[in-house]
Structures are given as C-alpha cells and as structure tokens.
Structure 1
Amino acid sequence: MSASTIGRESTGAAVRSASDLYRAVWRWHFYAGLLVLPFMITLAITGALYLFHDEIDAIVYSDLKQVAVQENVARAAPSAMVAAAVAAHPGMAIKFTDPATPASSAEITVNTQNQGKLAVYVDPYTGKVLGSLPDRGTIMWTIRYLHSLKYFGSFARALIEIAGGWSVLLVGTGVYLWWPRSQTAGILSIRGTPKRRVFWRDTHAVTGVFVGFFIVFLAITGMPWSGVWGAKVNEWANGSNFGYPAGVRVAVPMSDEHLGHAAQTTWSLQQAQIPQASGHDHGATPIGLDAAVAIFNRLGLHSGYAVNIPIAPNGVYTGSVYPDDLSRQRVVHLDQYSGQPLIDMSFADYGPLAKGLEWGINVHLGQEFGLLNQLVLLAACIGIVALAVSAGIMWWKRRPAGSLGVPPMPADKRVFRGIIAILVVGGTIFPLVGVSLAIMLFLDWAYSRLFRSRSA
C-alpha cells in the first residue's frame, strides 16, 4: 500500500467520521424537537403573558384591585376590613393582604362553607367591600397553572421536567448543527423567501442561535418548580434545621405545619416549619390583627405583605412579602399573645444555593430587572415560538411523503457512545430526563431495526 493511498484512506475515514457524528447529532436534534417543541410553544405563550401578570390583573380587575387615593384620610383598621369581608361572605378569615400601593385595595382571604376560599377586596379608605373572586381565581393564576400544567396532575408536571432537560439537549445539538464549517450564508442571515425551504432553515438556525441561551436559562431556572427534581433538591437544600436557611435556628417550639402549605412562599422556604405560640397555656389574651399589623409595619415589612391569621390557639401571625427586589423578601412569625417575633427571615439569611436559585427564579419571572427584564424575556418567548414554527414548516417541507422524515442513521454506530454518555450524565442530574433518554434510545434502536427489515 502506497503512502498516497494511506493518506487518502485516513482522510476518507475522517470525513466519514465527521459525517456520522453530524448524522447522529441531527437525528437526536430531530427527536428532541419532536418531544419538546409542542411544550415550548405552550410554555412560551403562557410565560410571555405571565411576565405581565400584575399589569394585566390590574387592568382586568381594576374595579376590585384599584381604588381612588384619598389624601389625609385615615385607613380603616385591618380588623374592620376583615369584619366587612366576613359580613359580605360569611366564613373564617384566614389571611389579610396589605395594599401594595396607595391606589391598591386590601385583600382578605375568607374560607367560606359553600364557596370555598374567596379573595374579598376592600377599599382601605372607606372599608367598603368591592367584590370577590375565588382564591387564586384570576386570569393570571389560570395562566400560571397552565404554564406549569398543574391543572393536569403530577404526570403532566413530570413531562415539563422532562421537556426542560430535553430542551437543553435541543440547544446543544442545534448549536453543533449551526456551527459554521465552510459555509458563510445562513449563519447570521436568512436566504430566500417563505416559499423556499432554505428560508425556514435559516430562520430556524438564526433564531435558535439568539434564543438558545434563554431556552437553557429558562429550562434550568424552571427546574426548581418540577415535581421530582425540584422537590428533591428543595429537600436537600433545606437540609435539617426544620427546613429553614442556615443561620436562623432559634429555640422556639415548632409545629408540624410547613410554610409552603400555609402560605404562598419562595422556593427556598417551602419546607420551613412554622413556630408555635406558647401563651395559650397560661390563659393569655391574643393581641389581635390590628396590633399584629402595627408590629409588622414597625418591623419594616415591604408594602403588600400578607398576614396569615392564626386559627388555632397555638398559631402565629405570619407576615410574608416577596417583592420584585429580592433583598426585601421577608417572613416574620409573631407570637399571637405576646406579639414577639419568634422567627424573622430575609433573603440575607438564605444559603448560597438558595440565593442563587431564588435569583434565577426572580429573573425567570421577569421581576429582577424591572421592565427591561420583562421585555427581554418577552422577545425570547416570541423567538421560541418562531423557532418552533419554523422547525415544523422546515420538517414538513423536507419529509418524504408517507414518512416521519427521521434523519438517517449514522453508518458507524460507535458515535452513539456520546449519546450514552449524555444519558448517564443526564440521568444522574435529572432522573426523569435520564429515563426518557433511555426509552428514546431503545425506541430509536427498535425503529431502525423495523426500517431495515422493511427495506430488506
């Protein structure tokens, strides 16, 4: 064998190897898109709407949430507003939410016998009841539940977790396919017209490059809400110490109730247990809601905080607020008899992991950087929809008639070792994603065997 022949053989092997790797990546990019894109469209649309949840709710429910500002007029006492709400909707008041702005109404959550929990809105200046809605019954709460598929049970929420992991794989394989090799067109520019497939190919590639970072970021920062991974990491992150962040351990009696069950709270505090009041053992008199609100105001809780009203003799007043400014997040538990703060937690008390996750969640919700945060993520959501639509059109134009149009199998199966490595890594970090990768690898193998048997 001559030296020239050896050189040609090695060059040919290298070309075949690169071609096989490209085919393998393309094939799994196709599978990832097939699984993820329907979810991504739904998540992008609902997520884009929820970015502006406060603004949309303020418009839709302006008659309930907005009031005329009255200068030099004392606000009604919280207990008077609660009494008005209960008079209009008989039941037990369980939460009082302080008006977030001078033009905002107060919100009282009443647990009624026939209608369940109601959010009753009261004018803080006049004490007049403005109306009511089912608790968490606003349009934006509906959008939020659609975004997380909470309406469809735990299985559907598990699919969201799987889609999050596959979306990272989608971006990784997409960047590899996009990466400039010898071509210059279709990298950052779009060729042709919508009638041509190359137009949709370039639209998909260019859009994917610009929104790929946001897809990965939103997938990772959305994982804390997932049913399996999020719950396990939350449990691990809280560790011992009754689930509270490090540094706030205090010698007070603790109940078996978790903050995540009793009130809307941050991801980091879902497992935090609620302390118990002790004065009921000695016949002490509760301080009442008005005094508790006055204490919370004196402690400097950010406006718009919610107060959980104790319904048991050993219960506590829990004041909690989660404004856009992470540093102002705070949860304070007051003894309902003495009014003494039993536990006072803020963002500064969170551990490093919790701080990082909460920051990511805040950006994910469009809250950390104000309007700029909302607009950037809105553009990313629009880009994600464009990415999904262009992928569908491109596939439809490319696929052979009567076929699913799966990209060809690489000739050298050794390239799948990389896929198996991804499976192992993904399965270690995200168990549901790893299981789904294993199932997809098996289905791909079965599909290939079936295709070969039909072609024989």
Structure 2
Amino acid sequence: MNDLTNAGTARDGTAATGGVLYRLVWKWHFLASLYVLPFMVMLGVTGGVYLYKPQIEAALYHDLLVVEATGQPLSIDAQLAGFEAMVAPKRLREVQIGEDPTASTRVEFDDAAGTRSYGYVNPYTGEVLGLQARDDMIMRQVQTFHGELLLGDIGTKFVELSAHWAVVMFVTGAILWWPRGRSKTIVTPHGSGRTWWRSTHLFTGMLATVLVVPILITGLPWTDVWGGALDRVQTATGQSSVSLKWGGAVPKSTPDADGPVGLDQAIATARSEGIAAPWLLRPARGEDGSVWVGSASTDRRDQSELVIDQYSGAVLARVDFADNPPVAKAVSWGISFHRGEAYGWLNLAQKTLAAALSVMLAVSGFVAWWMRRPAGSLGVPAAPEARLGWPMAALTLGLMVLFPLMGASLLLALALDWLLFKRLGWFQGQRSVPAE
C-alpha cells in the first residue's frame, strides 16, 4: 500500500514521473485516505474493543451478572412476578436464561419513562440485583460510537461513507503496491525516520488489504444506504431471513380455561426440542398471544426459534437457521465473521490483528506523509488531466451503482472541484509521484 507519504516535490527536484494511470491512482489513493484514515483509527479502536464485550462486561458488571448458587432456583414466572412487583415496568420485552447455575436472569424491559433497560434478578432469591439503562452501558456506547459516532442517522452516513471510500483506498493502494520491475514484493519495516514509517505503512497495508477489506464488506449490511438497499433486494427476491420473533403471521395460542402453563414449561419445551442455550424468551402478550423462545448462541447454526402455545405448551411453529435462503445465510455468516464469532478463537484473533493493523496503517501513513509534505501544503500528488475512456467510465459507473453513497459524494466532490477548488488552487497537486 503506497502511503500518503510521497506527495509533494521530490527531494532531488526531479519532475513528476510515472504513467498517467499510475499518477491518477496515486492521487485518488491520497484523497481517499484524507477522509478515511481518521475513521480507520476510530473503527479499529472501537471495533477491537467491542470484540471483547463478554470479557469486559463480565468485569464491569460482575455484581449484576454473577450470583451464588444456593439450592433450587425459583420458577421463571416467580422471578418475573417479583421483578414486576418491585420495578413496575411499562413493558416486558425479553428474558435471557442460561444453564450456568451462577448466572443471574436478565430481564429486558421498558421502564415507566419508556427507557429500554436491563434488570438482573437473582434466580435463587428473586432479589433484583440492579437496573441498567441499555444505552448507558459502556459497551453499548462503544458499539453506538463505532456505528454512528453518537450522531444518530447523520453519523452512520459518515461511517458508511468511510467504509465505501476505504474500499477505494485499499484498491488503489494495492495497485500502487504492486511491484513494477522490483524483485522484492514484500517490504518489511526497516530503516529509521521516514523510511521506517513508509516501509511500515507498506507492510501493514499489504496485510490489512487481506484482513480488513472482508471486514468492511461484511459490515455493509448494517449500514443505512447500502444495507437498506440490500434489504429491499432480499425482500423482492425472497432472500430475506426467516424469523418468528415479529410479524402478524406468528401463530396464536388457543385460550384454555385452565390458564397458561407457565414460562418454565416453554423453556422445558425448548430444551426437549434441542434449542441451544442460552435462551431468549418473550412472554405471550394478550390472551391469544404465544410465547417465543430463541437461542442466543453465537453459533449461527444453533440459532433456532420456537413459537409455543402459552396454554398447552405445544410447539406451534419452528424456524432453524437452515431454513433461511442462501443470501440470508451469507449475510448472517458475514455478520458473525464481522463480530469475530464465526470460527472461535481464530476468528477473534484475526479480527484483533485486523483492528491493530487498521490503526497502525492509518498512523504510519499519516506520520510518513507529514514528514514528507512540503511546508504549508497538503502535498497533493500531481495527476494529469486525462480523458475518461469507456472502460474506466464503466468501472466508475459500476462502483457508483454498487456504492451509491460513495457515488453521491464523488459527484459532490467533482462539482466542488470544478466550481471552487480549482479557482482556489486546492487539491491540485504537486509535480511529483511516490518514490519507488
């Protein structure tokens, strides 16, 4: 990955060299990096931290999550009845139950003010160990900052745009890195000063292209514009994921004079049906409502769902991961990979390394560029005025269709360049190209 480093006038005073395509690619790599690198640091740090959410929360909220196993636990109905009496929630959303005898029962609910919150109950005593607004939890804030910079819908557009332009940065960087007449294809960190920073950027860029680009792509289904378009395409083509958690098509219970059989029966049914623990349980709402139980396992293959009649305990419907269409499965596995859950500790280690490389790539590129740039200038690489042939035009149009938010930003950038930047002399480039 050639860096941001080599913009500006060459130290030996030579004029710009290199082919037209090479110089155009170099300028686009530089300009894409100006926008992307700050986001890359943020995404690398927050994403790397979030990978270890279970371990971090286990330390931060130990008093809420861990209890002493003493005798037989209370029924789930008794735990919820005590919780409702003490907390008076506006709405009960979901209960998480596991098989670990030292784990508390987690209740997700809306409080009287409508704030989505978690409550933690000692399953042996019924004591409410504590309440926590969901969005105030530290790892939730890390997740929100990672996805939207704490700026809501506007922030998520900026993050999505950085992911799109990061793809451009990595592609152009790979073109610049590709050896042209050099026998040595792998450059390891060496030398001192700017040489060390530049060689480090080359080395980390090579590794990051392999490790980070798949992470960028698998994160796109979460985005507003690209992800929203994918969701519409999946719906139109019958490739959406299958779920019984929401929707009017969920089977209803048949009221019985003997009343509901209880939530413990629903968990017993889930266990007998082979649903993997821990379980997420949604109590029935209304007289004809049904109980929903799903697996909270991080293994996608185990994520099955049941709809259970609240009166008889009979299974009214079941959906397994295998029932999803191919595109939905691919998206789901991509999300699992993005979270570092797809194949155990190896995926976690891979994601940790990718996060570290993202930060090092950004820092090394910035430092090497800063040490190289002419005083008082950005040191934008020179690029000749070039006619856009039909192959390049088709490629550009294809990228704009594939990444519509990037396409919109490109059109805006070209308009600003034509109307304003050229008149002000901004981003026009110095007469040099990257050193080989």
* TM bracket, shorter-chain basis: 0.7 to 0.9
Give the Å deviation of 1:128. Answer: 2.7
Structure 2 equivalent of residue 346 of structure 1:
320
Could you list the per-position Cα deviations for residues 101-127 of structure 1 after superposition, in whole angstroms to 9, with x for gaps in the alignment? 333211112332147333111122333
In structure 1, what is the Cα distance between the partners aligned to 2:298 and 2:23? 45
> Measured at CA, do residues 18 and 176 of structure 1 come closer, stay the same or move farther in structure 2, by a change above 3 Å?
same
Structure 2 equivalent of residue 275 of structure 1:
250
Asked whether the equivalents of residues 178 and 185 of structure 2 are also in contact (C-alpha less than 8 Å), the reply is no
Structure 1 residue runs without a partner (length 5+): 1-15, 249-257, 263-271
- Residue number among 77, 80, 96 corresponding to 1:79 in the alignment: 77
> Measured at CA, do residues 81 and 278 of structure 1 come closer, stay the same or move farther in structure 2, by a change above 3 Å?
closer
SS of 1:319's equivalent?
Answer: strand
Asked whether the equivalents of residues 96 and 105 of structure 2 are also in contact (C-alpha less than 8 Å), the reply is yes
Structure 1 equivalent of residue 3 of structure 2:
none
SS of 2:151's equivalent?
Answer: helix
Asked whether the equivalents of residues 240 and 324 of structure 2 are also in contact (C-alpha less than 8 Å), the reply is no
Structure 1 equivalent of residue 62 of structure 2:
62
SS of 2:35's equivalent?
Answer: helix
Identical aligned residues as a percent: 33
> Measured at CA, do residues 66 and 417 of structure 1 come closer, stay the same or move farther in structure 2, by a change above 3 Å?
farther
Structure 2 equivalent of residue 289 of structure 1:
263
> Measured at CA, do residues 86 and 240 of structure 1 come closer, stay the same or move farther in structure 2, by a change above 3 Å?
farther
- Residue number among 361, 372, 387 corresponding to 1:414 in the alignment: 387
Asked whether the equivalents of residues 50 and 143 of structure 1 are also in contact (C-alpha less than 8 Å), the reply is yes
Structure 1 equivalent of residue 35 of structure 2:
35
Q: Within the alignment, does 1:383 sit opposite 2:382 as a pair?
A: no
What is the TM-score when the length of structure 1 is the normalising length?
0.82
SS of 1:367's equivalent?
Answer: coil
1:237-256 matches, within 5 Å, as 237-239=234-236, 245=242
Letter in 2 for 1:94: R
Q: Within the alignment, does 1:436 sit opposite 2:434 as a pair?
A: no
Q: Within the alignment, does 1:164 sit opposite 2:163 as a pair?
A: yes
Give the Å deviation of 1:20. Answer: 1.4
In structure 2, what is the Cα distance between the partners aligned to 1:49 and 1:331? 30
Could you list the per-position Cα deviations for residues 304-341 of structure 1 after superposition, in whole angstroms to 9, with x for gaps in the alignment? 21111223334321112231222101122223334333
Give the Å deviation of 1:100. Answer: 5.3
Letter in 1 for 2:141: T
In structure 2, what is the Cα distance between the partners aligned to 1:180 and 1:328? 46
1:55-454 matches, within 5 Å, as 55-70=55-70, 73-91=71-89, 92-99=91-98, 101-114=100-113, 116-149=115-148, 151-183=150-182, 187-193=186-192, 196-239=193-236, 245=242, 259=245, 275-280=250-255, 285-410=259-384, 412-414=385-387, 420-446=393-419, 447-448=421-422, 450-451=424-425
SS of 2:394's equivalent?
Answer: helix
SS of 1:151's equivalent?
Answer: coil
In structure 2, what is the Cα distance between the partners aligned to 1:215 and 1:46? 14
In structure 1, what is the Cα distance between the partners aligned to 2:281 and 2:240? 21
Give the Å deviation of 1:175. Answer: 0.8
Structure 2 equivalent of residue 268 of structure 1:
none
> Measured at CA, do residues 292 and 242 of structure 1 come closer, stay the same or move farther in structure 2, by a change above 3 Å?
farther
> Measured at CA, do residues 88 and 418 of structure 1 come closer, stay the same or move farther in structure 2, by a change above 3 Å?
farther
In structure 2, what is the Cα distance between the partners aligned to 1:100 and 1:51? 23
Could you list the per-position Cα deviations for residues 193-240 of structure 1 after superposition, in whole angstroms to 9, with x for gaps in the alignment? 1xx322221111110001112221011100000012212212322447
Asked whether the equivalents of residues 79 and 290 of structure 1 are also in contact (C-alpha less than 8 Å), the reply is yes
Asked whether the equivalents of residues 106 and 121 of structure 1 are also in contact (C-alpha less than 8 Å), the reply is yes
Letter in 2 for 1:394: A
What is the TM-score when the length of structure 2 is the normalising length?
0.86
Give the Å deviation of 1:37. Answer: 1.1
Give the Å deviation of 1:94. Answer: 3.1
Structure 1 window deviating more from structure 2 (161-170 vs 217-226): it is 161-170
Give the Å deviation of 1:39. Answer: 1.1
Asked whether the equivalents of residues 296 and 319 of structure 1 are also in contact (C-alpha less than 8 Å), the reply is yes
In structure 2, what is the Cα distance between the partners aligned to 1:308 and 1:18? 64
Give the Å deviation of 1:84. Answer: 2.3
> Measured at CA, do residues 231 and 46 of structure 1 come closer, stay the same or move farther in structure 2, by a change above 3 Å?
same
Report which structure shows greater RCO (CA 8 Å, sep ≥6).
Answer: 2
Structure 2 residue runs without a partner (length 5+): 1-15, 430-436
Could you list the per-position Cα deviations for residues 81-102 of structure 1 after superposition, in whole angstroms to 9, with x for gaps in the alignment? 1122223312243322112533
Give the Å deviation of 1:66. Answer: 1.4
In structure 2, what is the Cα distance between the partners aligned to 1:242 and 1:90? 41
In structure 1, what is the Cα distance between the partners aligned to 2:237 and 2:290? 22
Between the two proteins, the alignment pairs up a number of residues equal to 411
Asked whether the equivalents of residues 67 and 122 of structure 2 are also in contact (C-alpha less than 8 Å), the reply is yes
Give the Å deviation of 1:441. Answer: 3.3
> Measured at CA, do residues 167 and 338 of structure 1 come closer, stay the same or move farther in structure 2, by a change above 3 Å?
same
> Measured at CA, do residues 67 and 297 of structure 1 come closer, stay the same or move farther in structure 2, by a change above 3 Å?
same
Letter in 1 for 2:59: I
> Measured at CA, do residues 231 and 332 of structure 1 come closer, stay the same or move farther in structure 2, by a change above 3 Å?
farther
Asked whether the equivalents of residues 294 and 305 of structure 2 are also in contact (C-alpha less than 8 Å), the reply is yes
Give the Å deviation of 1:177. Answer: 0.9
> Measured at CA, do residues 24 and 284 of structure 1 come closer, stay the same or move farther in structure 2, by a change above 3 Å?
farther
In structure 2, what is the Cα distance between the partners aligned to 1:160 and 1:100? 38
Structure 2 equivalent of residue 7 of structure 1:
none
Asked whether the equivalents of residues 82 and 93 of structure 1 are also in contact (C-alpha less than 8 Å), the reply is no
